[in-house]
Every structure is written in C-alpha cells, then in structure tokens.
Amino acid sequence: MRLINRHPGRASALVLGLIPFLLAILVYGMASRERLAENPNDKLLPGLEQMTSAINRMAFQEDRRSGDYLMWQDTKASLQRLAIGVGIAASLALAVGLLNGVLPVFRAGLAPLVSALSMIPPLAILPILFIVFGLGELSKVMLIVIGTAPIMMRDVAQRVRELPQEQLIKIQTLGANSWQVVTRMALPQVLPRLIDTVRLSLGPAWLFLIAAEAIASEEGLGYRIFLVRRYLAMDVILPYVLWITLLAIVIDQLLRLTNRRLFPWYNAGGH
C-alpha cells in the first residue's frame, strides 16, 4: 500500500502526535540535567523542581508588595485585553466582510482600503498607537484590532463571494431585498467561517498582545515575561510561555466545539 493511502487510526494518531512532544521533553531534560550537574545555579535550563517552585510562588503565594496572586492577575488582564480586541475585530470583520462580499458598491469603495490595511505591519505602528491612544488599555486593544481585523474582513468577504450564485438568484427571484440577502442568505453561512477565521487569528492576536504588554503595561503575561528576563528567570519565563500556549489551545478548542455545536451542517461538509 502506498504511504499516501495509509490513514492512522485514532490511537495511532494520538501516539504519533505525542512523539514530538515527548522527544522535546526528553532532549530538554537531558540538557537541563547536564547543565545543572556542572553548575547547580544555572538559570538557562531550569529543572522541573525549579520551575515547580516558581509556579508555586507566582500562582499560589501572595505577592509581598501588591498582595495579589501574580500569575492569575496577569492571566486575567491578558485574557480581558485579548477578548475585547478579538471581539471588536470579529464584529468589524463580520460587518465589513458581509458588505464587501454582497454589495458591489461597498466592495468598490472599501475593498482597496481593507487590502491596504491588511498589508501594514501592526508592530510598526505600535509607537503611533501609544502616542495617539496613550499607554493605557486602549492602545493594546487597538493593536489587536488593527492587527487582526483586516485579515478577518478579507476572509469573510471571500467566503461571501464563494457562495453559489444560484442562491443569490433564487432569493432575489423570491423578492428579497439587499438587506434580506445579507441577513437571510449570507449571514447564516458566513458565521461558521468567521469562527474559523477567529481561530486562525488567535496566534497573531497573542503576539500583538504580548508585544504591547512588554513595552507599556503594569500587569499581564507578556509584561511579566519581559520583566523577569532581566534577571534571567527562565524558571518563570518557561512556565509562563507554556501557560500562554495552554490558554491558546483551550480557547481554540472551545471555539472549535462551539462551531461544531452551532453549525453541524458546516462541519459535516468537511470544513
């Protein structure tokens, strides 16, 4: 049998998926043990005991100065900024994407602007955002919105234009006006695609969030990572990076399950 025709079962796929992670853990463990054997105070590759102690200190012990549990406080601040930014970006993408996809007049006027905005490197305008919106929450949220919304808009508009032309002809034959075409034909079919687009935008959204927090913030996961790097505190940095990764995976899976639950017909189509 050709390799291209071999499909692993669920158990085999799980094992194959775990192998790279297990290899990475094994390589890190061996390298960490070797460095700590030469220098017990080495900070570059902390061992499991050091990272466990750091997690306990950051997550389960009150900070002496603020009285907060820093890891949970940072998580709350970052997730709040992420939710607001991605929520605004998704709302704008839905509205603009639908208009660009359905109405040729809007597409002629807005599509070039959206395309141009999607080509601007968001991190390049971060200083401008700080100047215009200040160093508070608004500038961080705006970076996420500017960094993710244009791509979402283009994706939603493309999905609308991919809808079968027969549907557009039939609904107009039945007497639907432009608003009804948008709300009754395009919107229901675009919503599951929007959720997929949000999932794909989570990675860039986290990147923009952490970059903004690293430069100007007093709390947040990105802020904490860049704060402790001056002390080479890898025992804090690595758990924070793993925690961010875990949060991103959980959010992604929740969106996937939501999509599957709300729009079973979309997932049944092989999307």
Task: Tell me if 148 sits within 8 A of 86, measured CB to CB.
Answer: yes
Report the C-alpha gap between 228 and 234 in whole angstroms. Answer: 8
DSSP readout, 146-174? HHHHHHHHHHHHHHHHTS-HHHHHHHHHT
Task: Tell me if 228 sits within 8 A of 236, measured CB to CB.
Answer: yes
How large is the average pLDDT for residues 242-254?
Answer: 95
Q: At what angle do helices 70-102 and 234-262 cross, to 10 degrees?
A: 40
pTM, entire model: 0.88
Give the residue extent of every domain in the chain. Answer: 1-38, 60-267
Amino acid at 105: V
The residue among 39, 13, 66 whose CA lies nearest residue 224 is: 66
Task: Tell me if 146 sits within 8 A of 204, measured CB to CB.
Answer: no
Superfamily of domain 60-267, CATH level 4: MetI-like (1.10.3720.10)
pLDDT at residue 191 is higher than 90 = yes
> In the chain, what percentage of residues exceed pLDDT 90?
51
> In the chain, what percentage of residues exceed pLDDT 70?
98
Per-residue pLDDT of 100-122, as tens digits, reads 988 888 889 888 999 998 998 99
Report the C-alpha gap between 221 and 262 in whole angstroms. Answer: 32
